[in-house]
A and B are shown apart, each in its own frame.
Chain A
Amino acid sequence: MIAGLTVDWQTVTDAVALGAIYALMAVGIGLVFGVLRLVNFAYGQLIMAGAFALALAGEWNWPVWGGILLCFAVVLVLSLLMDRLVFRPLRTESPAVMLVATFAVAFLLQSIALLKFGGLGRTALSLASLERPVTIAGVDIRKITIVAVAATVVCLVTLLVILERTEVGLHMRAAAMDFRTARLLGVRASRVIGGAVLISGFLAAVAAIMLTVEETSQVTPAFGLDDTIIVLAGVVVGGLNRLLPATLGGFAIGFAYGFLGGALSSNQSQYLPSFVFGAVIVVLVLRPGGLFTRHGQGAIERV
């Protein structure tokens, strides 16, 4: 079935870039899950909003940095609003209710975008120069690949420092392990959750900027939706309960998607979602706790 597989370095580097962006999104989703036990399905719509901000700033002839700033501002404000208006009142509800509530938010944001910008959306071209390749050791590598990988590494290292070296990071890790005990020991819930939501929004903005170059400059109301679904699958496959497995899961599924999408011929790659999600099911059935978790670390149904 994979007879027509053609591998070149360009496919591999593109796949690495997609994997890096998906890893960022995986961290954003995993971080909020850690403190809230909430899978934020509206994460894709945050990315969509950021991409629209970038596209609009381009239309208004803002300088590139202005567009990037606007993108961050829009995504961060939306994240905080979401936390305030939806997550906070529902914090004590069952995960199912919270998940469906994020559906409703996703649906709401998407229909607002549809109403405002139409089905075709806008184009974000301010960073299109990153599409151009540079040649390293005879291999043409698109600049965005380098930027995406560098940005991911910087973000992840910074996050690691925050989590390991600062007080709020310590609180976040404690809250992710056992929220109730952490609160008893003086961790302030809303501060920890607010911090996680902010960082998660920051990563969404970075992912939004990268995706407008890496995937498509056409920003539609459905921008980022498919990516979020794939990342969610990757996060669960990796292991949702801990950040590192979740990140690895996000990277792995992004790499697999980018690699197979580039390497398969088009009449095979049209069935790519089936292959990837088929693999997801196989992994989930064989290792329900996650692929990259040690035995016994996975999510067990609490009794």
Chain B
Amino acid sequence: MRRVEPVTALIGPLALVGLTALLGTATSLSTRTYFITALINVAIVVALYLFIGNSGVLSFGHISFVAVGAWTAGVLAVPAAPKAAIMPGLAHLLRTTTVGNVPSLAIAAGVGGIYALVVGLPLMRLSGLTAGIATFAILEITHNILRYWEKIGPQLNAFSSVPATTGLLQAGVGAAIAVVIAFAYQRTRFGRLLRAARDDVAAARAVGISIYRQRLVAFALSGALAGLAGGLYIHLEPLGVEDLYLDLTFITLAMLVIGGANSLLGAVVGALAVSGVNYSLANAENGGFLQHYPGTHLVVVGAFMAIVLVARPSGLTGGRELSVPRLQSDKVEP
């Protein structure tokens, strides 16, 4: 039985976020984008963690909530003048509404959460691999609709003219909000019931926990965080629908597992470690020791992820928070 984490367990993840943001201020403008992206990755992976880590159910669908959040914030934040030119087919309400930076992020989180709730209503009845494939189906459907439906966005074109408001401060605050919400959630009754159900389904059922309802709450909340992360992302750079699809799904899931899917610290460490390796290698290609080997950084990142998974399957943090005894991981035959 796991005790509730002391509040001090929040210090580690928050310190890492703060440190990343601080380090970013000391770098040049072009390098800073890497730090900002790393912080957005933290927000996405923490959103993933809130659901996957607490429920033990894999989800491949969270990037669709990121995409929906990005679309929401993007469509709402593009100024009225270029909007008609970029997205001529936009629905009337969206064409005539323009909101500021913070409201666009809040609405993105709201829409992400509501979308996850609606999707979760049928899906959270499933478990195991079936649930995984069903969430994958959501990713496919969302990607397909965002790509072709001109009433809600720019289709295949990248979003342009979205005010670039996501700097280190905004990304850092966003990531910190995600960390605090995820931490607060796992200390609530909901979070503890869901973790109990993850660790022992039969016992949880026997004491009357509705696993369906607990999973749904976590799914909707993590959908909201993913939506927020999407909003932050679209305010950083012009994204297209392909940027919010399979590759991002793979990378963020790998970040979570590499860090250690059972702890909040693991989510943050995994996101920062993989981002760090990725960007330092990408940097090395631009004039560093890899400059004669363009494109190699993806290969090295892939190899890095595979090696960490094989060598340390329970992740870099081994599922530990700072100073909390380690959970036993479920071993499955063979």
Contacts from A to B (Cβ < 8 Å) = 35-37, 39, 85-86, 89-97, 99-101, 103-112, 114-115, 179-180, 183, 189, 225, 229, 232-233, 236, 240, 270-271, 273-274, 277-278, 280-281, 284-285, 288, 299, 301, 303
Q: Which of B76-84, B175-183, B294-302 contacts A (4 or more CB under 8 A)?
A: B294-302
Closest to B140 in A: A277
Which 8 interchain pairs have the tightest Cβ spacing? A108-B302, A111-B298, A277-B137, A104-B305, A104-B306, A236-B133, A179-B334, A273-B144
In the bound complex, do residue B134 and residue A106 qualify as a contact, i.e. CB atoms below 8 Å apart?
Answer: no
Q: A104 — which chain B residues lie within 8 A by C-beta?
A: 250, 254, 302, 305-306, 309
Q: Given A108-B302, A115-B298, A277-B141, do A94 and B130 touch, yes or no (CB 8 Å)?
A: no
A183 to B333, CA, bound (A): 11
CB pair A274 B331 closer than 8 Å: no
Q: How large is the interface on B (under 10, 10 to 19, 20 to 34, 35 or more residues)?
A: 35 or more
Instruction: Write out the residue numbers on chain B whose beta carbons fall within 8 Å of the beta carbon of A274.
Output: 140-141, 144-145
Contact residue among A95, A107, A112, A278 (Cβ-Cβ distance under 8 Å from B129): A95
Interchain CB contact under 8 A, A94 and B310: no
- Could you tell me which B residues sit within 8 Å of A by CB distance? 56, 58, 122-123, 125-130, 132-134, 136-138, 140-141, 143-145, 148, 201-202, 246-247, 250-251, 253-254, 257, 261, 295-296, 298-299, 301-303, 305-306, 309-310, 313-314, 329-334
Is A273 a contact partner of B140 (Cβ separation < 8 A)? yes
Contact, CB under 8 Å: A94 / B133? no
Collect the chain B residues with CB atoms within 8 Å of residue A285's CB. Answer: 122-123, 125-126, 134
Contacts of B301 in A (CB 8 A): 107, 111
Q: Which residue of A lies closest to B332 (CB)?
A: A94
B295 x A284 contact (CB < 8 A): no
Contact call B310/A89, Cβ cutoff below 8 A: yes
- The reply to whether A101 and B306 form a contact with Cβ atoms under 8 Å apart is yes
Instruction: Look across to chain A and name the residue whose beta carbon is closest to the beta carbon of B122.
Output: A285
Residues A94 and B333 in contact in the complex (CB < 8 Å), given A86-B310, A111-B302: no
Check if B331 sits within 8 Å of A90, measured CB to CB. no
CA distance A95 to B332 in the complex (A): 7
Report 29 cross-chain contacts, Cβ distance below 8 Å, ordered by A residue.
Answer: A35-B334, A37-B333, A39-B129, A86-B309, A92-B334, A93-B332, A96-B56, A97-B257, A97-B313, A101-B306, A103-B253, A104-B254, A107-B254, A107-B302, A108-B299, A110-B302, A112-B299, A115-B295, A229-B136, A233-B137, A236-B129, A274-B145, A280-B137, A281-B134, A281-B137, A285-B126, A285-B134, A299-B129, A301-B128
Question: Which residues of A lie under 8 Å from residue B329 when comparing CB positions?
Answer: 94
Q: Which residue of A lies closest to B149 (CB)?
A: A271
Complex formed: what's the CA distance from A91 to B313 in Å? Answer: 11
Contacts of B126 in A (CB 8 A): 284-285, 288
From residue A99, how far is it (CB to closest CB) to chain B in Å? Answer: 7
B303, chain A: closest CB distance, angstroms:
6
With A111-B298, A280-B134 in contact, do A271 and B129 touch (Cβ < 8 Å)? no
For A86, what are the chain B residues with a Cβ–Cβ distance below 8 Å? 306, 309-310
- What is the CB-to-nearest-CB distance from B147 to chain A, in angstroms, rounded to a whole number? 8
Contact of A180 with B333 at beta-carbon distance under 8 Å, contacts A106-B250, A285-B126, A301-B128 already known = yes
Give the distance in Å from the alpha carbon of A72 to the alpha carbon of B15 in the complex: 51
Interface centre among B127, B143, B251, B332 (most CB of A within 10 A): B332
- Taking A100-B309, A274-B144 as known contacts, 18 extra A-B pairs with beta carbons closer than 8 A to each other, sorted by chain A number, are A91-B334, A96-B257, A99-B132, A103-B250, A103-B305, A107-B302, A110-B302, A111-B301, A115-B295, A179-B333, A180-B333, A225-B246, A271-B144, A273-B144, A278-B137, A281-B138, A285-B134, A303-B201
In the complex formed, the residue of A with least CB distance to B307 is A104
Most chain A CB within 10 A, of B250, B295, B301, B309, is at B309
A109 CA to B332 CA, complexed, in Å: 27
List A contacts of B299 (CB < 8 A): 108, 111-112, 115
Whole-angstrom distance between the Cβ of A211 and the nearest chain B Cβ: 18
The answer on a CB contact under 8 Å between B145 and A271 is: yes
Once A85-B310, A94-B329, A106-B250 are accepted as A-B contacts, the answer to whether A284 and B140 lie under 8 Å apart by CB is: no
Q: Which residues of A contact B133 (CB under 8 A)?
A: 232-233, 236, 280, 284
A281 close to B122 (CB less than 8 A): yes
Residue contact A229 to B295, C-beta cutoff 8 Å? no
What chain A residues lie within 8 Å of B58 (beta carbons)? Answer: 96, 99
Contact (Cβ within 8 A) A299 B144: no
Q: Is the CB of B310 within 8 A of A90?
A: yes
Q: Is the CB of A288 within 8 A of B130?
A: yes
Known: A225-B246, A284-B133. A101 touches B310 (CB 8 A): yes
The minimal Cβ–Cβ distance linking B118 to chain A, given in whole angstroms, is 12
Q: Given A86-B310, A94-B331, A229-B140 in contact, is the A284-B134 Cβ separation under 8 Å?
A: yes
Contacts of A180 in B (CB 8 A): 333-334
Complex formed: what's the CA distance from A179 to B133 in Å?
A: 24
A46 to chain B, nearest CB (A): 15
Contacts of A101 in B (CB 8 A): 306, 309-310, 313
Contacting A36 at CB < 8 Å: which of B123, B257, B313, B334? B334
Query: Could you tell me if A271 and B148 are in contact, using CB atoms closer than 8 angstroms?
Result: yes
CB distance from A107 to the nearest CB of B (A): 4
A271 to B143: give the CA distance in the assembly, Å.
Answer: 10
Q: Is there an interface contact between A105 and B306, defined as CB atoms closer than 8 Å?
A: yes
Asked if A108 contacts B334 (CB within 8 A), the reply is no
